[in-house]
Amino acid sequence: MHLLLPTVRRMYRLTISLPWYYNNVLTLRERAVYMNNGVALPMPQHCQSEADIRRWKKLNTKKFMEEYGNEVLDQYDIPTEEELERLDRNEDTDNEADEDDEDDEDFTDSEDEAADGDT
């Protein structure tokens, strides 16, 4: 068990900047993709000793989220329903524009093709 504690600490240190990255770098669309992935580790103060880890390590997901996970999620700017609806509307508009572009294909001869036809 002594090897587990440093490993867990190192893993968490690697992820400590994830809230900043999620909140400041990812687009709304990207944040929406990851918003329901859940929480893997509690805050660092709950990973300081083997006893700390034993307290949360075997909790089921619901209990873990109640006791530790929601504290982690509070650091993330999870998209709101309004933002998700706006994203859906924008994607619908983008899809309609793509369909219109396909309908507007230019079937006229290029200048080179027109010149070849004249000879």
Summarize pLDDT for 1-27 with one digit per residue, the tens.
334 444 444 444 334 457 888 899 889
Residue 41 lies in a domain: yes
Residue 118 lies in a domain: no
Position 11 scores a pLDDT of 44
Q: Which of 10, 17, 11 is nearest to 40 (CA)?
A: 11
Residue 56 lies in a domain: yes
Residue 78 lies in a domain: yes
Say if residues 42 and 56 touch (Cβ distance below 8 Å).
yes
Query: Which pair of structure tokens corresponds to residue 15?
Result: 């992820």
Domain count along the chain: 1
- Count other C-beta atoms under 10 Å from residue 31's C-beta: 19
Query: Which pair of structure tokens corresponds to residue 45?
Result: 């103060």
Residues 49, 51, 52: CA angle, nearest 5 degrees = 65
Range of the domain at 14: 4-101
Position 81 scores a pLDDT of 94
Residue 114 lies in a domain: no
Residue 12 lies in a domain: yes
- Rounded-to-10 torsion of CA 48, 37, 90, 104: 130
35-64 pLDDT, tens digit per residue, is: 887 788 888 888 889 998 999 888 998 999
* Global model pTM greater than 0.85: no
